[in-house]
Amino acid sequence: MIIRLAETKDINQLIQMRWDTTIEFDESKKDESYEEFERECQAFLEDALNSKLWFIWVAEDQGKIVSHIYIELIQKVPRPGRITHPFAFMTNVYTIPEYRNQGIGSRVLSTLNKWIQENNYEFVIVWPSDESINYYKRNGYVHCKEPMEYFPS
């Protein structure tokens, strides 16, 4: 098992995995157009992989991506008296079903946590599903108060 940052050669697998995770948790989406989704996701991933704001960590088993975590860096407004470091927003955490419960996701998260420390990012924020809270707790994350949201109408 190799844990590494995603590359452009991984885009097709990442698109399929994004589709699969969506359908797994919301079967009503299975009738959507894969081609339209593929075009949009391809453009997003090409931009993300070429930016300095998105980092996609993957676990690869013999050429097959079996798990991934997406990170977006969020820049903070500088403050007098301290060096300002970005924080990381974690999203799209997924391991394909046949590779679950083998510690692979935790290995990816552990690698990511080390990378966060090495790069002096201030903290990581993630909105976990109810089912994944214990996964994050096992990997050193603490449950914080809920954020506030605004939805423009």
Q: Per DSSP, what are the bridge partners of residue 95?
A: 67
Q: How far is CA 41 from the centre of its chain?
A: 14
Write out the E strands in the chain: 2-5, 54-61, 64-74, 87-95, 124-126
The residues near 117 (Cβ < 8 Å, ≥ 6 apart) are: none
pLDDT band at 25 (very low <50, low <70, confident <90, very high): confident
Its pTM stands at 0.90
Q: Which domains does the chain have, with CATH numbers?
A: 2-138 (3.40.630.30)
Q: What is the pLDDT of residues 29-84, one digit of tens each?
A: 888 899 999 999 999 999 999 999 999 999 999 999 999 999 999 998 888 988 88
